[in-house]
Amino acid sequence: MKTYPSQGGIYRLFPFSYHCLFLRVSRHLLFLALLFGAMCFRGISPDSALAQEPSVLKPPKSVLSSSLPRLTLNDAISIALEQNYGVRIARNATLIAENNTNGIKGLGAAGMLPTVNLTGGWNESRDNVRQQFFNGNTQERAGARTDRFNTAIQLNWTLFDGLQMFAQRDRLAELQKQSDIALRQAVENTIAQVMTSYTNVVEQNVLLAAQRKSMELSRERLTIAEAKSRIGTASDLDAQNARVDYNADSAAYLRQEAVLINSKTALLQVLGNVQQYNDATFTVEDSLTSNREMALGGLLERLSQRNAALRSASVDNTLAQIAVRQAEAFHLPTLNATANYNFTGLDAEAGVIQTAQSNGLNFGVTAQVNIFNGLNIQRQIENARVSALSAELQFQDLENRLKTSLLQTIRIYSNSRTLVQLEQENTRIAKKAAQVALERFRLGSMSSLDLRVVQQNYVRAESRLITALADAKRAEVEIMRLVGDLTKE
């Protein structure tokens, strides 16, 4: 190393490469000092910058406030089973079916009990009367009053109607069974809708958090770009691009917030009339899990035994067979018993009889056999048999479609779980890359556009992970609905 005299004394002359390195390091240290001062001036610490929220985009209290009521999935299901209109209507239908089947009311609905009627009447007439009798006497009255009255008790009882009453009793019992299945199906569908809607709310809530992270990264990038622009180490164009990206992320955050509120409103619609959660002012769980193992053989067996729609179709098949029995009953004779007790009276001011009363009991049995009615009975029997065959085909078709739907849903579930594992790894890598890229951008070794690409990759990876988790959960709920696991027998 050489020394040279100068006007101000002696100075050292470094080799050229070391001199350039010294200048670059000095410039970066100066930039970091200015950047740190700018961030402190704005109230932002370097370590907590990613945790800050932009003041211009404070989410409403309905989204972030911890004081809002928390609606858990179990609470949502309990509320829906009490308030959902579809469940309440199905429950009323079961009450009607019970009235038509149980106890002595059921016997009456099947036509096994007699009917008893009480009738009575009275009428009065005013007549001008002129009568000539055989003995030569005459009678004339103006406005003669005549009162007539009668009372009767009538009993009618069908003793035999070709076994139709027994077929009707079996039909009412099957209808009650079908109403119970319909209630179970309504409960299952409601639970599935609640779970799916709740999953959508959680998904949109997590996506909102991911969008908030993206906005925070964009704000940090904007802060650094503006600091570089002020000290002259970067152009104003980088700061302007960072501002555009930050505004775009802010707008995306607001749109996602609206999607979240709409998903909450959809959940409330499924729950029914719930006053305490109006205007979507509630919070939900902040995570999704789906860890069930699905064995295909067991699922297909449970579908055949427990699926509500399939069991309802089986009842339809039984009802079609009962309709055949009812049509065939018209070939058999009918036997009806009747009994009447009558009381009549007369009170007249003119005529042959002045007063009269009579009462008495009469009864009997009537039998009827159809000989020929234009082959209508045979036509009805044939139509009923064809309808029964169609009911069996409909059952088989529904079973086939349900099994196909189950297989497709299982594939979706399995694929979604695989995607979850893949996206978890991608998210971990993308998050680490975003942290490294932000540090490199601070040091000036990465461009603003490259940082934006890394940032977007991280946000997309998180969004794909959330979507995969939600898809797996929705598929799991659908599988549980198909195999009847949402309710207990």
* Backbone phi and psi for residue 268, each to the nearest 5 degrees, phi listed first: -65, -35
Is residue 393 assigned to a domain?
yes
Domain contains 450: yes
Query: Helix, strand, coil % (nearest 5) of the chain?
Result: 65, 15, 20
Q: Picking from 168-172, 199-203, 232-236, 308-312, which range would have the lowest pLDDT averaged per residue?
A: 232-236
**Contact criterion met (CB below 8 Å) for 188 and 487:** yes
Is the CB of residue 262 less than 8 Å from the CB of residue 63? no
C-alpha span between 248 and 410 (Å, rounded): 38
Average pLDDT over residues 285-312: 83
Beta strand pairing status for 9-12 and 115-132?
A: unpaired
Closest CA relative to residue 473, chosen from 420, 406, 407: 420
- pLDDT tens-digit profile of 4-18? 333 333 333 333 344
Q: Distance between CA 331 and CA 235 in Å, rounded?
A: 100
The model's confidence at residue 78, banded by pLDDT at 50, 70 and 90, is very high
For the chain, give the mean pLDDT.
83
pLDDT the model gives residue 356: 86
Q: How confident is the model at residue 58 (pLDDT cuts 50, 70, 90)?
A: very low
The residue assigned the tokens 């059921």 is 106
1 inside domain: no
Name the residue range of residue 322's domain.
Answer: 44-108+164-331+372-482
Counted domains in the chain:
1
Q: Which residue has the higher pLDDT, 360 or 6?
A: 360
Examine residue 25 and state whether it is found in any structural domain, yes or no: no
In a domain, 403, yes or no: yes
Model confidence at 446, in pLDDT bands (50, 70, 90)? confident
Task: Dump pLDDT digits (tens) for 412-429.
Answer: 999 999 999 999 999 999
Question: Does 60 have pLDDT greater than 50?
Answer: no
Q: Which helix or strand (DSSP H or E) is residue 289 part of?
A: none
**What number is the average pLDDT over the span 285-300?**
75
pLDDT exceeds cutoff 50 at 46: no
Q: Is residue 258 part of a domain?
A: yes
C-beta separation of 483 from 303 below 8 A = yes
Q: Classify residue 446: in a domain, yes or no.
A: yes
Grade residue 238 by pLDDT with cuts at 50, 70 and 90.
confident
The CA distance from 119 to 35, in Å, is 104
Q: What is the pLDDT of residue 115?
A: 95
Q: Mean of the pLDDT values across residues 376-400?
A: 96
Q: How far apart are CA 310 and CA 486, in angstroms?
A: 15
How does pLDDT run across 247-261, given as a tens digit for each residue?
999 999 999 999 999
Taking the CB of residue 8, how many other CB atoms lie within 10 A of it? 6
Name 358's bridge partners. Answer: 344
Q: Is residue 346 assigned to a domain? A: no
- Which burial class, exposed, middle or buried, applies to 282 when counting CB atoms under 10 A from its CB (0-12, 13-18, 19+)? buried
CATH of the domain at 454: 1.20.1600.10
Note the pLDDT tens digit of each residue in 103-145. 999 999 999 999 999 999 999 888 888 877 777 788 888 888 8
Q: Is the pLDDT of residue 84 over 80?
A: yes
Helices (H), 11-140: 16-41, 61-64, 73-83, 85-101, 103-109
- Taking CA atoms, 390 is separated from 206, 305, 378, 381, in Å, by 49, 21, 19, 14
